[in-house]
Structure 1
Amino acid sequence: MSKMTSTNDKQFPRGAEWVRVDFHLHTKADKEFKYSGDENYYNSSYINALEKSNIRLGIITNHNKFDFEEFKSLRATARKQKIGLLPGVELSLSDGRAGIHVLIVFSDDWMDSGKDYINSFLASMFPGKTKEEYEHENGCSEKTLLQMVEMLDGLSRGDYFLIFAHVEEPKGLWKELGIGKLAAWKESRYGALRSRTLGFQKVRSYNKLHEADKPCRLKAKNALGDWYPAEVEGCDRKSIQEIGQGRSCYLKLGELSFEATKFALFDHEHRVRTELQEPRQAVLLQQINFAGGALDGIIVPFSPSLNCLIGPRGNGKSAVIECLRHALGFPEGADDRYKSGLVERMLSPAGKVVLVAVDEFGREVRVERERSGQPSVYLDGVYRDISPGSVLKDILYFGQKDLSARSESFDESFLDKMLADRLDPKLQEEATLIEGVRQTAKQLKETLEATEKIAALQKEKNELEVQLQVFTDKGVDKKLAEMTLFDGDRQAIISWQQALKELGTNLKEAADWDEVNAAFPVLKSQRTADIVVELTFAKAKSEEAKASAQAALQALRDTLKVLAEALQKLIPVQDQMKQEVAELQKTLNEPQLDLELFRTKKNRLNQLVTLLATGAQRAKTEQTARDLLGEAVNKLHDFWRERFTEREAEVRRLEAELPQEIRLQTAFKGKRRAFGEFLRSKFKGSGLQAAAYETIEDAFMDGRELYQSRAELVTNGLSENAAIKVQATLLDHLSDFLTFRTPDETAVLFNGKLLGEYSLGQRATVILHILMHLRRYPLILIDQPEDDLDNETLYTHFIHQLLDRKELTQFIFATHNPNIPVLGDAEQAIVCRKEGEKFSFDHGSIDDKDIQQRIVTVMEGGEDAFRRRKEIYQLWKSSN
């Protein structure tokens, strides 16, 4: 179904890398070079010396000499070690006081079809002289720098560039020409020379303004104006043993070629450095593999810096980003309609995606996820029951349209994403506090209901007493006194039985001895050895408590068994009493008096007496219930305030990383509109007028404040009728009101203006601006960051920041805009193509000629972007 260029076929499988380059190498073809070893091992010894010094690209620059056969032989050996060699020469020219040494680096066109055009050029620089006369360190051409460039360009054999050797030392440009004459290079007649000069080698003195006769970097820069090439290094040694000595020079290259080297020197601000940074201790995605489905067998390797998935729409760019999201366990972003089913379409029912990464501690992390189900995480090859986010931290994912979503809560959700790994949501603690409020609200309602029921119960008691008075007057109550006492006794036994059952249930639920025993600490530190005896004693006491609790439960079970047996014994008595009542009914001369009804009403009267006593007691505890509820509500709202304070602290830390034009604004319980919507849902159907809603919203921030002011609602502006409705609804839904959280408000301000007041394109620009300033996120995934941005804005506000940030952050973008991979100097470009049902992916840095040809498209993006990209394309064009 799909194919991917093998990573083994690439010099740089993960895209452009920092490579040590030596611009000034000599070989035994040079008269000053000393080699006394075995001639049969010269090539391997030379290349091994390069490898030992970690030099992956070298420029062979012998004095006024180029040995064609030696170079070909050395290059063949070097390629086996994945080391590149470029042809060059150290040419001596007559400029200056004692002559100037310049390193000329040639493209392979100068050796086209096995022909040597370099020596033809050298012969033209030394007319009338034999090789023996000039192929040495002291040989000097009578030609000048300008004449040299004129001759090189006139030959039209191929491309080349110049590096001036040891510029501050004898035979160096600055030393021999002098800073005063160097200033003449600003003149137009030196334009060709400037354009061909891409480096100064061995710059050492940075500021010698106080020493008039000493050249230095600052003097040279002042003399040359706004043009100054790269500073590079080369060992310039005369033996194999000395190769690699001296300072190092590193170029970011995606290919060991003349063209890649030239481009790196051209963009020396971002592509040349004298020392490497320390390896990043951060999350890094290395590659993603696909098994099954439309992308079966594809492996996509990632650079630690900028990765761009490029190609026309519908060719698999977003599929890779979405499969990364799927593997990492992130939810889909804003553009659900577009992405819905995208992962499912890419993977077969049994297919899966495999993500290989390292965490901040350098451990290998492998995440596997099938089309359905949850991710499986392997840490250093061992399966661990954890989520990907627990080890691959601080990863930001933005799908299409996520950067410019229209939602009112966009600012809040954006910042939540920024702070996701910085804040513990403490969901269980919050749930416990909410449940505490609900339980105490329930107790208060029961207390209030008991108080309200007292009058009704008293009325029922009065009515029963009147009805039973007839029986008393007829003397029936005395005849049934023993039976009445029996009924009361039996009911009391049943009530006690129910209370004991509830007590046993509560004790059983509260006593989780397995959990307690599992938590017993096993001490390993020598510093805690002194308390082992105390803990052992405490453990014994715990076992005693467990035994006592188990004994108590067993005693309750025994008691309940006795009660059940006792109640069973009362059944025959009940049957006998029914017969006695029936016999008594026959002997009475009052058939209208129902003796069974008397027993029922008498029993109910006794119950009412008990209920009234209990109700009276509950009425006395109403204030206690209110106090308990108030305490529970305050704990919950204090928790919310603490969560806001913690988040606010993280927001301020985040803001400190941002430029002054971007501010973050927060407000505790700031979204008052949400409280208004809650009120309308609870008072729906109550007949409450719009004015009443407005009054409540203006006066109160949440349900807690409304509850606390329930007695002063009229004072706060409500009518008496509205106040009654509010109080009734408040009591009916008390726990809902007290546990409603008015959301905190979060807003992003750009130049003092709320982000939501900007256009979608401007909003996306600001968000990208924020992302480029944050150093806390080692990996950012974005599907089409250029959406809603014009090319000029993309270049001026995003690309420049991207160039500075990609050494600190791994970016993986899916894009169809050439500005990002070209002007962003992508270390890894992944070209996605689809022909019919087949997908094919190729990858490489923008130094790779095949990748270059696939990238070149319509050029847009404003005058500056157009000019810069034109320069880059021109470099590519001249090398292809």
Structure 2
Amino acid sequence: MSDALSQCIDLESGSRFYRGDLHIHSHSASHDVTDIEMTPQAIVATAVRENLSIIAIADHNEITNIQAALKAGSDAGILVIPAVELSTPEGHLLCYFPTYEALASFHGRLELADRGLPNSRCRTSMHACLEIIKALGGFGILAHVDGGNGLETNDPGGSPHKVDIICHPALLAIELKNAASVVRYSPEDVDPVRTQIGKERTARLGLGERQYLARVLNSDSHTLNALGRNAAQDRRLTRYKMAKPSFGGLQLALEEGDSRIRLEDEIPTSTPFILGVSIGGGFLNNQSIHFNSNLNCIIGGRGTGKSTTFEAVRCLTGSPSDADVVDSEVWPQRLDLFWQDEAGEMHTLSRPMRGDLVNIDNPLDGPIAFEIDCFGQGEAARVREQAKGDPLALMKYLDTFTHVGEAIQEEQAELDNLLKIRGDIIKARKNVDAIPQTQRALTVLQQQLQAFEAAKGSEIIKLQRSLATEKALKTSLQEKLKELKLLIESDNLNESLTALRTLVDTDGIETGKAEAAEIIAQIDVFSEAANLAKTAIKSAYTQLHKTTLAAIENWTAKEQPIRNEVEEKRKQLEQNGVKLDMSHITKLASDEATHQKTLINLRAWEPHLKALHKDYSEALARRWTARRKVSSLRQAYAIKASKALAEVLSDLQVKLQYIDSGYSEEAVSIIATAMTWRTSNYVKARAIVEKLTIPGLLNAITKTQYSSISDIEIEKNVKLFTTGDAKDIIAQLGDQSVRAALETCHVDDLPKLMVTRRIDEGPSPKYIQRDFSRLSLGQQQSVLLALILSSDSKRPLIIDQPEDNLDSEFIFHTFVPVLRRAKERRQVIIVTHNANIAVLGDAEQLIVFKSNSETSKIVARGSIDDINARDAACKILEGAKEAFTRRARIYGIS
């Protein structure tokens, strides 16, 4: 680790998420624990090994092991929460307290029966327990609510006393058996009764829009082997966000569950992130930032260097920036950047003024560019402008934040292969189509030669034909001999062997070093054998070439007597009054031999054409399979993003979908040209492509389905084509060349992004629906950011002033909810002036800049829970604490 990196990671980086297991049973205190090793000390030691920072021993109705656990936890550096699991009449309840004294006081007020026995129970009602918990400063969690002895299992439905329990202020969470549980008590719950109970809880407690009961997973372990693991025995429980482990931090995390609680089953095991940046020289001289792996908000007044920091971080992408600040007079003389990849390896990179990024750890082979999603100032405006001339601009932009890139490359490769085969078919078809014409020409030549034979020149014609045929054979022999020479002299084998050897002849192999040496040795043996064989082949070819040329020379010499015989016979015929045009006969015989040779070559294309058609059919199927894969990936992202946004947005519904293969300007042109439609009628071709899609159109052509065309509507009950039109379209597009053009044209999915907003005016709410293109620039920006944050991408996301063009209400209702949801799924770094983003976004780290006329420096850093960072942020974002409190008084908010 470099000194610069070491100094950087020593800096404060704000809050983080800690692994916790808040439901553990111990031996002697829980009657059903038979593992004698489940002592408080062993439980704490196991928790350390399982990387747990927060634990709670919650025995059935007993607290005898809690003090020992608290001491063991204190010695080991683990937070142990005093707790107990009560078997109440309504179901099991987990109870947690800030101190052992509070727990003991609570325990002393309970009416317990048959203590220590299998039927041990608490006769005090669950609601009464919650009342005592509240008075003692603790909180409750419904134990395995969806399992045995859980409240939902014991008391399904919505009885009044159950509603009272769910709506109690001391109840902060529900414990689930697995992350896929449908029990939520929120709008996402599949049970309308539970959904209504969740609404009632929000109303009774005066909670915010997204403040539902937190959902947690614990081990409920009765053995050491099960500790720190869920019901499926996976190390996937719950993470709790706080500055450092504490009871108060845990309680706050549960109250703010949408941003501070994460079920490990629902988040990546690890993510790559930007570790930090260190700046030397320039406006931000001697400033360093240790970034949090979650939400970082860089705040400060105008001209404090926030955008300079943004551009500095963007250097990690390896792509040039067109920002004016880069390499300007305020730019760092030396910029050090630190990155941690998904495997946990750290990288140090450096960039001098006007220089290139260099990997300090490994200058030769180390990575110098990393995948980072960037949303700079004016990004939405650029997408908006591009969308005016390109309907796919939105899709292309969203593609950069999804995992569709590789599938697009596969699709393009299949399309290129299809086009190549199509080109080969055209060439082969041209040759096959030439067979009849060549056959006719050969027949005419043969008829002419037969006419000469009828004129008593049969013997001469026969000899002349023989000479012409054999001359063509000798020419073919010499051509094949040259092809054989090129094949023998090719160095492809040696190149392949060299490439093969290079793969294993490297210093980078450790585990398979002996095996690599064995492979290299065998490659060398094969190379030597190949070289010997090649020498022998070359020698044999030399002899073949010499023998063949000599034989052809002798062959040609043997033809001379025949030529003499032809001449002699010609003279005899002339003496008998029969005159033959020998030059013409020679040409006819030569042409006959040439046409016969050509015909043989052309007929060889017939099986080749048949094989090409088979290859084309298979390649076409692969092309559409690859096309569907791209479409399905996009559609899966659209469904997931729309669902994720529906879970966090209240008065706004964003629906993204893609019309599978519903866009192709190339196909529009092909259809319009085939139908001889003018430019004004391109709308018809475009309607066919969008409504029917290219695969649908090709299917209609194959099956002659006129109704597929005639059923196309431009609006409800208004059809674009008659049945007669449909028949004409199917006939024209069914032409072999037109159909092939449609099969090989470039096709894409057509994105449709609709935004529906609820307006509560009058007796019933109204819903206003708009296409993305009709939204304001600010609304478009907010929706884009929400979609980006809802993607599956684990790449860090850096955003520069997303509040531009947005009003605070829209930020609060659309951007902040998805920002809170992104935690532990990816790192986000935002440059902002907006309090809603930094404060309500629940930033893990605030980085506060302040400047004078010459330099700028970081005056505070820490989480939103840190007093210094919070006060500094309040001063900048709210205009000081007094300004904030005065506005509150003016608004009538106390």
TM-score, normalization by structure 2: 0.53
Equivalent position SS for 1:744? strand
Give 1:400 shift.
Answer: 2.3
- Equivalents in 1 of 2:458, 2:561: separation in Å? 18
Matches within 5 A, 1:185-204: none
Equivalent position SS for 1:788? coil
Equivalent position SS for 1:495? helix
- Equivalents in 2 of 1:451, 1:9: separation in Å? 75
Quick check: 1:318 aligned with 2:295? no
Cα–Cα, structure 1 residues 602 and 766, in superposed 2: closer, same or farther, change >3 Å? same
Quick check: 1:457 aligned with 2:415? no
Q: Which moved more, 1:625-634 or 1:435-444?
A: 435-444
Aligned partner of 1:363 among 334, 340, 345? 345
Aligned partner of 1:446 among 427, 430, 455? 427
Give 1:368 shift.
Answer: 4.7
Identical counterparts, % of pairs? 18
- Equivalents in 2 of 1:834, 1:491: separation in Å? 93
- Equivalents in 2 of 1:720, 1:808: separation in Å? 54
Cα–Cα, structure 1 residues 727 and 538, in superposed 2: closer, same or farther, change >3 Å? same
Cα–Cα, structure 1 residues 708 and 558, in superposed 2: closer, same or farther, change >3 Å? farther
Does the CA contact (< 8 Å) of 1:458 and 1:612 recur in 2?
yes
Matches within 5 A, 1:453-852: 453-465=434-446, 478=459, 485-499=466-480, 501-502=482-483, 512-514=496-498, 559-560=544-545, 562-563=547-548, 595-596=582-583, 598-616=585-603, 618-619=605-606, 623-645=610-632, 648-649=635-636, 652=639, 657-660=644-647, 665-667=656-658, 669-674=660-665, 676-677=667-668, 679=670, 690=681, 693=685, 697=689, 701-702=693-694, 706=698, 709=701, 731=737, 734=740, 737-751=742-756, 754-770=771-787, 777=794, 779-799=796-816, 802=819, 809-817=826-834, 820-821=837-838, 827-831=845-849, 840-842=856-858, 844-845=860-861
- Equivalents in 1 of 2:674, 2:798: separation in Å? 45
Give 1:750 shift.
Answer: 4.4
Match of 1:44 in 2: none
Match of 1:197 in 2: none
Matches within 5 A, 1:24-423: 209=129, 215-217=135-137, 252=243, 281-289=270-278, 299-310=288-299, 316-329=305-318, 339=322, 343=326, 353-368=335-350, 377=359, 383-384=364-365, 386=367, 388-389=369-370, 395-403=372-380, 405-406=383-384, 407=387, 408-420=391-403
- Equivalents in 1 of 2:273, 2:889: separation in Å? 29
Does the CA contact (< 8 Å) of 2:452 and 2:461 recur in 1?
no
Does the CA contact (< 8 Å) of 1:397 and 1:782 recur in 2?
yes
Q: Which residue identity is paired with 2:660?
A: K
Cα–Cα, structure 1 residues 277 and 222, in superposed 2: closer, same or farther, change >3 Å? closer
Deviation digits for residues 430-471 of structure 1, max 9, x if unmatched?
Answer: 565345423432343234323432333244335545665786
Give 1:382 shift.
Answer: 7.0
Give 1:739 shift.
Answer: 3.1
Deviation digits for residues 326-362 of structure 1, max 9, x if unmatched?
Answer: 4223687xxxxxx4666465799x9875421222333
Give 1:364 shift.
Answer: 0.8
- Equivalents in 2 of 1:622, 1:515: separation in Å? 35
Match of 2:195 in 1: none
Cα–Cα, structure 1 residues 377 and 570, in superposed 2: closer, same or farther, change >3 Å? farther
Cα–Cα, structure 1 residues 817 and 574, in superposed 2: closer, same or farther, change >3 Å? farther
- Equivalents in 2 of 1:613, 1:219: separation in Å? 92
Q: Which residue identity is paired with 2:860?
A: G
Cα–Cα, structure 1 residues 865 and 756, in superposed 2: closer, same or farther, change >3 Å? farther
Cα–Cα, structure 1 residues 347 and 472, in superposed 2: closer, same or farther, change >3 Å? farther
Give 1:872 shift.
Answer: 13
Give 1:629 shift.
Answer: 1.8
Structure scoring higher RCO (CA < 8 A, sep ≥ 6) equals: 1
Equivalent position SS for 1:419? coil
Give 1:398 shift.
Answer: 1.6
Give 1:766 shift.
Answer: 3.1
Does the CA contact (< 8 Å) of 2:701 and 2:733 recur in 1?
no
Deviation digits for residues 96-133 of structure 1, max 9, x if unmatched?
Answer: xxxxxxxxxxxxxxxxxxxxxxxxxxxxxxxxxxxxxx
Q: Which residue identity is paired with 2:620?
A: V
Cα–Cα, structure 1 residues 777 and 330, in superposed 2: closer, same or farther, change >3 Å? farther
- Equivalents in 2 of 1:295, 1:557: separation in Å? 76
- Equivalents in 2 of 1:854, 1:758: separation in Å? 32
Cα–Cα, structure 1 residues 446 and 703, in superposed 2: closer, same or farther, change >3 Å? farther
Rg comparison, structure with higher value:
1
- Equivalents in 1 of 2:590, 2:287: separation in Å? 83
Equivalent position SS for 1:637? helix
Does the CA contact (< 8 Å) of 2:272 and 2:795 recur in 1?
yes
Give 1:604 shift.
Answer: 1.9
Q: Which residue identity is paired with 2:809?
A: E
TM-score, normalization by structure 1: 0.54
Give 1:409 shift.
Answer: 2.9
Give 1:601 shift.
Answer: 4.0
- Equivalents in 2 of 1:509, 1:585: separation in Å? 54
- Equivalents in 1 of 2:269, 2:687: separation in Å? 57
Equivalent position SS for 1:412? helix
Cα–Cα, structure 1 residues 701 and 534, in superposed 2: closer, same or farther, change >3 Å? same
Does the CA contact (< 8 Å) of 2:300 and 2:876 recur in 1?
no
- Equivalents in 2 of 1:851, 1:7: separation in Å? 27
Deviation digits for residues 180-239 of structure 1, max 9, x if unmatched?
Answer: xxxxxxxxxxxxxxxxxxxxxxxxxx986489799423799979x9899xxxxxxxxxxx
- Equivalents in 2 of 1:388, 1:594: separation in Å? 80
Give 1:789 shift.
Answer: 0.7
- Equivalents in 2 of 1:19, 1:704: separation in Å? 50
Match of 2:91 in 1: none
Q: Which residue identity is paired with 1:217?
A: G
Equivalent position SS for 1:384? coil
- Equivalents in 1 of 2:754, 2:431: separation in Å? 54
Equivalent position SS for 2:748? coil
Does the CA contact (< 8 Å) of 2:465 and 2:590 recur in 1?
yes
Give 1:693 shift.
Answer: 3.9
Q: Which moved more, 1:508-517 or 1:572-581?
A: 572-581
Gaps of 5+ in 2: 19-97, 110-125, 141-167, 171-203, 208-239, 710-723, 758-768
User: How many residues get paired?
Assistant: 640
Does the CA contact (< 8 Å) of 1:286 and 1:358 recur in 2?
yes
Q: Which residue identity is paired with 1:669?
A: D
Give 1:419 shift.
Answer: 2.0
Give 1:631 shift.
Answer: 1.9
Q: Which residue identity is paired with 1:358?
A: Q
Match of 1:241 in 2: none
Gaps of 5+ in 1: 1-5, 21-164, 179-205, 229-248, 254-261, 333-338, 874-880
Give 1:853 shift.
Answer: 7.2
- Equivalents in 2 of 1:610, 1:7: separation in Å? 76
- Equivalents in 2 of 1:18, 1:629: separation in Å? 56
